[in-house]
């Protein structure tokens, strides 16, 4: 670790136990995507309440378990692609000027030229947000994560090894982007300041993220035998959304049926050469239709 510490600007620190009180105080790479609204698993609202100690940290998300079990295999594949590199544990790091900004990359590698690069090991249940191997086209949440790691540690390149949903190994390369990092650092400072006891304490607004809905449900588990008059705008929004959901569900069912019919036996549907949906095997002899994100 000494040689790394001499090269990198980040400060090596003892590992932080996920879910511990100390871990909750720090803004890690796994949290930064939620801060900027790019995490599919956590919202800014739910993270705020978790770091405020009002919600427990639950480390039972399926993608985390999948990654835990498959990480060693992805690392072995990556090592085989770079036999002249020294692949080793990534350690735990803090930013030299902001000790609450931390990062724990999956691995780090010393290249044949002596450069230290970050290495992230991912598995994908869906390939839609992953671009061509060799590019930096990775899901936005992961992009924020690796930029944060480079900012904290002082590295300037991260290799992302991924096992796709079709069991295909891929490698992506992401370089340090000072503009992205400046945005992340500003948002992170504002988020920490907004936590209870901070100089700008303020709860994030309610949004439409699934994690926000789950957080609100957990925050109010009791049911008291009383009524409450709610704000008019909140009530009217709910009353409009209930029938709209039913209408939208019916419209989506019809639209999917029409699209499947137009696709025939094709795997993907295109609009102006851009994929918009894909067919894949479903239960029994049926197929399932999935929306392809732009």
Q: Does 59 score more than 60 pLDDT?
A: no
In this prediction, residue 244 carries a pLDDT of 94
Across the chain, mean pLDDT equals: 91
- Residue 216, domain member (yes or no): no
Instruction: Please answer whether residues 81 and 109 qualify as being in contact, where contact means their C-beta atoms are separated by less than 8 angstroms.
Output: no
Residues 23 and 106 in one domain: yes
When pLDDT is averaged across residues 217-237 and rounded to a whole number, the result is: 91
Residues 35 and 167 in one domain: yes
- Residue 211, domain member (yes or no): no
Structure token pair of residue 142: 């992961």
Interval 244-281: pLDDT, tens? 999 999 999 999 999 999 999 999 999 999 999 999 88
Residues 32 and 101 in one domain: yes
Residues 14 and 120 in one domain: yes
- Structural domain of residue 31, as residue ranges? 2-194
DSSP reduced 3-state for 211: helix
Residues 250 and 124 in one domain: no
DSSP reduced 3-state for 61: coil
Q: Quick one: which of 281, 284, 279 has its CA closest to 256?
A: 279
DSSP reduced 3-state for 24: helix
**Degrees (nearest 5) of the Cα angle 71, 57, 24?**
95
- Residue 275, domain member (yes or no): yes
- Residue 214, domain member (yes or no): no
207: left (phi over 0), alpha (psi -120 to 50) or beta: beta
Residues 28 and 105 in one domain: yes
Residues 6+ apart with CB under 8 A from 106: 71, 75, 90, 119, 120, 121
Domain's final residue, options 172, 194, 216:
194
**Degrees (nearest 5) of the Cα angle 17, 20, 21?**
135
Residues 23 and 167 in one domain: yes
Residues 179 and 245 in one domain: no
Q: Write the DSSP assignment of 142-174 as a string of letters.
A: HHHHHHHHHHHH---EEEEEEE-TTS-EEEEEE
- If you ran DSSP here, which 8-state letter would residue 133 be given? T
Residues 179 and 269 in one domain: no
Q: Quick one: which of 58, 48, 54, 56 has its CA closest to 206?
A: 48
Q: Does 62 score more than 70 pLDDT?
A: no
Q: Does 3 score more than 50 pLDDT?
A: no
Q: Does 237 score more than 80 pLDDT?
A: yes
Count other Cβ atoms within 10 Å, centred on residue 100. 13
Residues 177 and 45 in one domain: yes
In this prediction, residue 60 carries a pLDDT of 54
Q: Write the DSSP assignment of 248-274 as a string of letters.
A: HHHHHHHHHHHHHHHHTT-SEEEETTE
In this prediction, residue 174 carries a pLDDT of 97
Residues 190 and 237 in one domain: no
Domain's final residue, options 194, 212, 245:
194
Residues 115 and 248 in one domain: no
Q: Does 221 score more than 90 pLDDT?
A: no
- Residue 187, domain member (yes or no): yes
- Residue 69, domain member (yes or no): yes
DSSP reduced 3-state for 12: strand
Domain's final residue, options 166, 194, 222:
194
- Residue 45, domain member (yes or no): yes
Distance (Å, whole) CA 191 – CA 51: 10
CATH of the domain at 136: 3.90.320.10
The whole model's pTM is what? 0.83
- Residue 215, domain member (yes or no): no
Instruction: Provide the number of structural domains found in the chain.
Output: 2
């Amino acid at each position: 670790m000494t040689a790394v510490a001499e090269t990198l600007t980040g400060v090596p620190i003892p590992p932080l136990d996920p879910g511990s009180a100390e871990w909750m105080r720090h803004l890690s790479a796994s949290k930064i995507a939620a801060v900027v609204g790019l995490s599919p698993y956590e919202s800014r609202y739910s993270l705020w309440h978790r770091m405020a100690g009002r919600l427990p940290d639950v480390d039972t998300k399926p993608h985390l378990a999948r990654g835990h079990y498959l990480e060693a295999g992805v690392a072995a594949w990556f090592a085989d692609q770079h036999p002249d590199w020294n692949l080793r544990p990534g350690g735990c790091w803090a930013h030299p000027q902001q000790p609450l900004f931390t990062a724990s990359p999956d691995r780090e590698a010393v290249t044949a030229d002596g450069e230290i690069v970050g290495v992230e090991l991912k598995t994908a249940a869906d390939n839609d947000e992953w671009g061509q191997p060799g590019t930096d086209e990775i899901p936005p949440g992961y992009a924020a994560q690796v930029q944060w790691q480079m900012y904290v540690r002082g590295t300037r390149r991260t290799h992302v090894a991924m096992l796709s949903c079709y069991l295909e190994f891929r490698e992506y390369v992401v370089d340090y982007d000072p503009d992205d990092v400046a945005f992340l650092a500003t948002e992170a400072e504002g988020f920490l300041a907004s936590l209870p006891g901070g100089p700008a304490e303020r709860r994030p607004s309610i949004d439409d993220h699934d994690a926000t809905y789950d957080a609100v449900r957990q925050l109010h588990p009791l049911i008291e035998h009383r009524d409450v008059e709610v704000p008019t705008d909140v009530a009217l929004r709910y009353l409009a959304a209930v029938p709209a959901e039913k209408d939208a569900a019916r419209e989506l069912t019809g639209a999917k049926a029409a699209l499947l019919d137009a696709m025939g036996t094709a795997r993907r549907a295109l609009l102006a050469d851009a994929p918009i949906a894909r067919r894949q095997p479903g239960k029994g002899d049926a197929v399932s239709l999935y929306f392809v994100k732009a």
